[in-house]
Amino acid sequence: MHLKIRFPGKSWFTLVPLALASGIFLSSQIVPDAPVEGFRVTMFNDLGYRIWFLTGNSAAHREEGQVDMKGLDLEVYTGEEQNQLDFRMVGDNATYLSHNKLLFGDQGVKVVSEAFTIEGEKWRYDQETRRIRVSENVKVVLDYEMEPFFK
């Protein structure tokens, strides 16, 4: 996977040293000692197609492979040439575990796609299987049109 990070209104030449100094590049051994504010991350698959566009209010590195985020806004794409949005996930707080490729949180989340809307608490998203699980206070709305049963 490939990672692309953007900071609005900044030049690339300014951002490279800033990103290196703050430990943005995950393969680096440098780790920021303060949260990164107003982040944007785009992730691509091995074919070069976008699979994620993640923005948030802040992100803080906690331990090896764990990032805590506030103000999560994640767009998940199909990872194909059409660059089609699969679903969008918005939540208050979230934790990402890179070694498991899991994103989860205890507070509220809202997931919206063409076919459904899910809201609830205590949730997790498995990046490998593309499964979303919401465990508490769950509300699901299906956007599906059915033929009438009775005529």
pTM for this prediction: 0.72
In a domain, 19, yes or no: yes
In a domain, 32, yes or no: yes
| Whole-number Å distance between alpha carbons of 134 and 106 | 10
Domain count, the chain: 1
In a domain, 46, yes or no: yes
Residue 130 vs residues 18, 89, 112, 124, 127: alpha-carbon distances, Å = 32, 12, 14, 10, 5
pLDDT (0 to 100) of residue 62:
86
Picking from 10-14, 100-104, 147-151, which range would have the lowest pLDDT averaged per residue? Answer: 10-14
Neighbours of 92 (CB within 10 A): 15
pLDDT (0 to 100) of residue 107:
94
| Whole-number Å distance between alpha carbons of 89 and 75 | 6
In a domain, 31, yes or no: yes
Q: Could you read off the pLDDT of 63-112 as tens digits, one per residue?
A: 888 999 999 999 999 999 999 999 999 999 999 998 999 999 999 999 99
pLDDT (0 to 100) of residue 31:
63
In a domain, 114, yes or no: yes
Print the domain residue range for 52.
2-142
In a domain, 117, yes or no: yes
Neighbours of 112 (CB within 10 A): 16
- Residue 98 exposure: Cα atoms within 13 Å on the Cβ side: 13
| 3-class secondary structure, 56 | strand
In a domain, 147, yes or no: no
Q: Could you read off the pLDDT of 29-49 as tens digits, one per residue?
A: 556 678 889 999 899 999 999
In a domain, 150, yes or no: no
For residue 58, the domain's CATH number is: 2.60.450.10
Per-residue pLDDT band at 145 (split at 50, 70, 90): confident
Per-residue pLDDT band at 11 (split at 50, 70, 90): very low
Per-residue pLDDT band at 2 (split at 50, 70, 90): very low
